[in-house]
Amino acid sequence: MDREKLNFELTELIKTVIPDIDEVDMNASITDEYGVNSISIIRLIVAAENKFGVSFSDYELDLSSYDTFGDLAAAVSEKLELED
């Protein structure tokens, strides 16, 4: 998998987990633009763990660690050891 495919699959996952979201801008604020909260970010992380076979520590579940969906994509990418 490359980074582009990861972004595509993560975008689809976001729209599935948070159905209110139609269009995903990886660089927009996930709280201001999409209303993601401390619960929905954990739902999304758990779904990403299952989909991509990665593991987030309990200290990595906090909303403040992710300003954008791009930050979440970067965290998944790092765990998958993908090249930029």
Partner 1 sequence: MANMKKLKVTYPTITSWQWHATLFSILSDDENAKKWIYSNYIQLRCYNIQEIFTGDDMLFADIMPGSSSLKECPYLITSLMTKEQIESYCGNIIDFIIKTIDLNGYVYGVFDEAKILCDTEVDYKFPHELFIYGYNIDEEIFYVGDFTFKDHYSYTTVSFKDVEKGYEVITAQDDHMFKDDYKGTRGLYVILKNSDTPYYEVDIELIKTTLREYLNSMDTKNHFRMMRNRFDDTIFGVDVYDRVLSRINSQMSEEEPDFDIRALHLMYDHKVLMLERLKYLMANDYMEYDKEILDEYKTVVVNMLAARNLLVRISITGDTGAAVRFKKYFNIAKEKEVSILLKVLSLLDNK
The residue among 15, 32, 69 whose CA lies nearest residue 77 is: 69
Instruction: Report d(CA 75, CA 58) in Å as an integer.
Output: 14
42 binds partner 1 (CB under 8 A): yes
Largest CA distance in the chain: 31
Under the binding rule (CB under 8 A), the answer on residue 62 touching partner 1 is: yes
Q: What is the DSSP letter of 54?
A: -
Among 16, 27, 29, 38, binds partner 1 (CB under 8 A): 38
Q: 58 or 84: whose CB is closer to partner 1?
A: 58
Does 12 bind partner 1 (CB under 8 A)? Our answer is: no
By CB under 8 A, residue 29 contacts partner 1: no
